[in-house]
Amino acid sequence: MNEELLDQWERDFRAAARADDYAMFREHLGRLLPQEHPGQRLRPDEPQSMLEATIRIVRMCSAFASLDGRGQEFGRFLNMQKYNSAEATDARYVFTFDLWGKAFARILVEAELQTLDLADLYGTPWSDYKVVGFHYLWISHPDWSNLTKEELRQLEDGVTYDLRFDYGEDEVDFWFDDSLDETYLFVSVQDVYESEDESDD
């Protein structure tokens, strides 16, 4: 991916967010945090933090694409990353990442889930936040319409295939919950740790 194109995308993305005073990010987080983070109030700086985390993830995806020789695929991915999700005509889903409570990031993804590698992102160290990967993930439509049963099944299958391609059941554990809200699928991901009894064997 041409670095100049990536830099231009970032400038445009920042400008759109600032022109809107981060209202779309503020509304987006407001839909998720009260339900999944009891007692945690939306900090005044959270929407700005979401902007920075989103840019970091997009740039990391660019690095992964370069290493894997998927420049053309990343071009499609980058074109979907609009601040105003309604402008991303190819985007079917929104993936919102919780980077272990340090920041939230919003990524737009096509229906086939081919341009985003969750396994790579789960293993990514974020030096600015002093964490690795992500803990929680919400998957929704850009317009917050309800997910169908077929979509829920396909999303669970897609996430499972992605994570299990790189991580075995003895390495990473994850579970899904579609009962919290009809507009999103909630995913919890974490490392598998041996119990003291197992480690003594």
Structure-token pair, residue 27 = 């509304």
Per-residue pLDDT at 65: 82
pLDDT class of 178 with cuts at 50, 70, 90:
very high
**pLDDT one-digit tens code per residue, 104-159:** 999 999 999 888 999 999 999 999 999 999 999 999 999 999 999 999 999 999 99
Q: How far apart are CA 168 and CA 25, in angstroms?
A: 34
pTM of the full predicted structure?
Answer: 0.90
Q: How far apart are CA 122 and CA 21, in angstroms?
A: 30
| DSSP strands (E only) in 4-84 | none
Cα separations in angstroms, 17 against 7, 39, 159: 15, 27, 29
Q: For residue 194, with 0-12 CB atoms within 10 Å meaning exposed, 13-18 middle and 19 or more buried, which class applies?
A: exposed
Residue type, 132: V
Q: For residue 33, with 0-12 CB atoms within 10 Å meaning exposed, 13-18 middle and 19 or more buried, which class applies?
A: middle
Per-residue pLDDT at 124: 95
pLDDT class of 32 with cuts at 50, 70, 90:
confident
Segment 40-50 mean pLDDT: 79
Least confident of 37-46, 83-92, 166-175: 37-46
The overall average pLDDT reported for the chain is: 89
Q: Name the helix (H) or strand (E) containing 154.
A: helix 149-166
Look at residue 42 and tell me whether its pLDDT is greater than 60. yes
pLDDT class of 196 with cuts at 50, 70, 90:
very low
| Residues listed for the chain | 201
**Of residues 37, 24, 25, the one with CA closest to residue 135:** 37
Give me the percent of the chain exceeding a pLDDT of 70: 88
Q: Where are the domains of the chain?
A: 3-200
**pLDDT one-digit tens code per residue, 52-91:** 999 999 999 988 887 766 666 788 899 999 999 999 989 9
Residue type, 162: D
Answer whether 109's CB lies under 8 Å from 120's CB.
no
